[in-house]
Amino acid sequence: MCGIVGYVGHRPALDVVIGGLRRMEYRGYDSAGVAVLDGAGALNVERKAGRLANLETQLDTVGRGAFAGTAGMGHTRWATHGAPVDRNSHPHRDASQRVAVVHNGIIENFAALRAELEADNVEMASDTDSETAAHLISRAYTEGDTKGDFPASVAAVCRRLEGAFTLVVTIADQPDTIVAARRSSPLVVGVGEGEHFVASDVAAFIEHTREAVELGQDQLVVITRGGYEVTDFHGDAAQAKPFTVDWDLSAAEKGGHEYFMLKEIDEQPEALANTLRGHFDGGRIILDEQRISDQDLRDVDKVFVVACGSAYHSGLVAKYAIEHWCRLPVEVELASEFRYRDPVLDRATLVVAVSQSGETADTLEAVRHAREQKARVLAVCNTNGAQIPRESDAVLYTHAGPEIGVASTKAFLAQIAANYLVGLALAQARGTKYPDEVAREFAELEAMPAAVQKVLSTVDQVRDLGRRIADSKAVLFLGRHVGFPVALEGALKLKELAYMHAEGFAAGELKHGPIALIEEGLPVVVVMPSPKGRAVLHSKLVSNISEIQARGARTIVIAEEGDETVRPFADELIEIPAVPTLLQPLVSTVPLQVLAAEIARTRGYDVDKPRNLAKSVTVE
């Protein structure tokens, strides 16, 4: 969850590192720190609790003169071990202050390592697991077989570490070299002219180069001005995967918007179009990587979708489509629960793992569990080459572009679209849909970017509503069929952005308990199904709305244009375009995103960086 960047080259390292941290702050914002090697043997470190801005102010106070070197590294933290205070901020140093380390992940055996160091009279300066790595690397570098060998010292320590980690290490004696290593946490190398970068995410260096190399599991890289070298943790040469980043700097910047999230909401039509592009060719749905044969797809007798948060909600939407199109049972599981409840999996099970980042620890572990049980795994992911797609048998990339706002918006819509493609690919392989039916479904999907654009052109009304209900204590969300996951997503957005109590319910459950929550003035958002496409459910929901209105709730109804039956029951009516039933979440979610963002803004919260959260949850 933390963001890491390292640089060796010809530019002032501090500027490169701070620029990189700015673009990675979405990964964690509890504290930030930098280390710069000045070339004359000094390793200068500054770190500060809170946002990156605090660190920058601190640097201005102490003076940036000491940070004039062209090699350095930085870190933005999401706290795991130890409170978010200055002394727990990275970089951490060894006792001699000659070795500095930044770390992402969790060193699971840190208690034993710490005890070993303390028994050796090493005094710990922080409460973190990460600091142990600095002391161990220092010891490896100053004694024993690896003495004086920087990469070998890091590799030797990596072999002892358990858990997930990305480490970037500097040693004052070697001012032109940075060593980085990874296990189950992301690390990419940026390849420039006379300069090299290491980072958790390409966003950190996209301003300088789009040529990147993705490190594999248990690999280590040494970067210098002139090149980079990848090995495994035993020092043997290893293959890493070069790639060119297919988006540019503007995609990682706000482009005139107040927040990334607002920009990302606006980018949804494009994100959807990009996700669909190229996936229907020669009359067939095409995935990006497919190492599962059509015969295996035909043999599938059960589908699990595993995911977390918004990605999980996209899976709940997919269930309706996949069951309908493929006549296959689909279970949607919270990835964090999946492997702990002994799910019934075998070769005929297809597990669809949905993750924007591709590095969510719970989802990754669910994938690993599924593969151990011989199930086939198909990843739906927004991040090229991330760990989850790497460990899967097939991959469908969403092409939503970088999503920086912590709250998922465009990635969520892209996941819904991609999940539908997975459903169509299965239906096509299994023959539960004729080719012309698959083509028709795809054409309907292709019409969705324009429908989402239409919703976006009408959201001023939603913003106004958001300002008017911003002081409510709670908001409830109701939906049925595919509107139910939309209600869950609307509630999640409001919780994470506005820190308000919000719950999503299947409207049919109302009378089984939640109606007791209804009180005078409580805003209740209802996602209406189409009066034509789902007439029976529509009339049941109209009854539900009238029941809650009779009990004093303030009804906010999201309904298809021209749905006049619902108008008398809506204190606020938000109209969305009429689209095929299964595709409605792509339009009905958008007002809920805008509503949550506007309520959060009105309450004075940072929409991009909600408290206690981080974009990628790389720890369980």
Binding-site size for ligand M6R (CB under 6 A) equals 16
In the β-sheet with 349-355, what is the strand arrangement from edge to edge? 289-290, 394-397, 376-381, 349-355, 302-307, 330-334
Q: Which residue is nearest to ligand M6R (CB)?
A: 309
- Segment (H or E) for 474: strand 474-479
| Among 271, 292, 308, 322, interactor with ligand M6R by CB under 6 A | 308
Instruction: Name the strands in the sheet holding 474-479, side by side, starting at the edge strand that comes first in the sequence.
Output: 501-506, 474-479, 523-527, 554-560, 572-576
Binding mask 483-522 for ligand M6R (x = CB under 6 A): ---------x---x--------------------------
Q: Which stretch binds ligand M6R (CB under 6 A): 151-159, 302-310, 370-378, 558-566?
A: 302-310
Stretch that binds ligand M6R, among 158-166, 309-317, 480-488, 585-593 (CB under 6 A): 309-317
2 is catalytic: yes
**198 near ligand M6R, rule: CB under 6 A:** no
Stretch that binds ligand M6R, among 63-71, 89-97, 274-282, 306-314 (CB under 6 A): 306-314
Selecting among 2, 158, 326, 381, the annotated active-site residue is 2
Least distance to ligand M6R from the beta carbon of 599, Å?
Answer: 15
User: Which member of 357, 530, 549, 581 binds ligand M6R (CB under 6 A)?
Assistant: 357
Residue 94, helix vs strand vs coil: coil
**Nearer Cβ to ligand M6R (13/407):** 407
Omega prior to 84 cis, within 30 of 0: no
Q: CB of residue 576 vs ligand M6R: minimum separation in angstroms? A: 21
Please select the residue that binds ligand M6R; options are 3, 28, 269, 309, rule is CB under 6 A.
309
Catalytic-labelled residue, pool 48, 319, 433, 615: 615
Among 529, 617, 618, 619, binds ligand M6R (CB under 6 A): 617
Whether the CA torsion 206, 208, 214, 220 is positive or negative: it is negative
Nearer to ligand M6R by Cβ, of 169 and 406: the residue is 406
- Examine the residue annotation and report whether 263 is marked as an active-site residue of this protein: no
Nearest to 594 by CA among 523, 478, 505, 497: 497
DSSP string, 268-318: HHHHHHHHHTTSEETTEE--SEE-S-HHHHHH--EEEEEE-HHHHHHHHHH
Task: Output the CA torsion 195→199→202→205 (10° steps).
Answer: -40
Give CA–CA dist 620/618, Å, rounded.
7
Cβ proximity to ligand M6R: between 382 and 428 the closer is 382
Which of these, 506, 504, 528, lies nearest to 588 by C-alpha position? 528
SS3 letters across 375-419: CEEEEEECCCCCHHHHCCCEEEECCCCCCCCCCCCHHHHHHHHHH
Nearest distance, CB of residue 356 and ligand M6R, angstroms = 3
CA distance 345 to 584: 32
User: What residues numbered 398-417 form the site for ligand M6R, per CB under 6 A?
Assistant: 406-408
Q: In the set 363, 384, 544, 588, which binds ligand M6R (CB under 6 A)?
A: 363
Among 31, 70, 209, 356, contact with ligand M6R (rule: CB under 6 A): 356
* Binding residues vs ligand M6R (CB under 6 A): 308-311, 355-357, 360, 363, 406-408, 492, 496, 616-617
Which residues belong to the active site? Answer: 2, 615
